[in-house]
């Protein structure tokens, strides 16, 4: 619930910005459509939950001019992702930064990958 609480706490300030944006880091493992191998129940459920929160926030905050999205960082070489992961941290973070910089109202409610592609829910 922390992403939801943070959005609620920050909404007034974000609404004051030109092209205000809110995003949370999710994962493709939270996608129902992309679940092809099962398992990892608690993690999948937490990411599916944050996706639902961000989608709902996009509806609730639309009239206030706030663009709200869930972001997939890719499979990143971290302690969690492991050494075999596809991306280094710099590529993932740089990509998410570019996505955030280019977000507009038409993107609100989307689930977007670090490379700018839209993810399936």
Catalytic residues: 43, 47
CA 10 from chain centre, in angstroms, equals 17
- Tell me the pairing of strands 66-72 and 20-25: parallel
Number of other CB atoms surrounding residue 80 within 10 Å: 10
Residue among 79, 81, 77, 78 nearest 29 (CA): 81
């Amino acid at each position: 619930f922390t992403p939801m609480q943070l959005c609620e706490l920050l909404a007034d300030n974000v609404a004051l910005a030109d092209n205000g944006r809110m995003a949370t880091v999710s994962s493709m493992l939270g996608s129902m459509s992309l679940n092809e191998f099962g398992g990892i129940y608690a993690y999948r459920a937490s990411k599916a939950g944050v996706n639902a929160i961000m989608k709902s926030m996009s509806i609730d905050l639309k009239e206030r001019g706030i663009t709200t999205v869930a972001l997939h960082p890719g499979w990143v070489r971290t302690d969690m992702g492991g050494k075999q992961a596809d991306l280094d941290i710099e590529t993932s973070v740089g990509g998410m930064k570019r996505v955030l910089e280019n977000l507009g109202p038409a993107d609100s409610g989307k689930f977007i990958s670090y490379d700018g592609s839209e993810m399936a829910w």
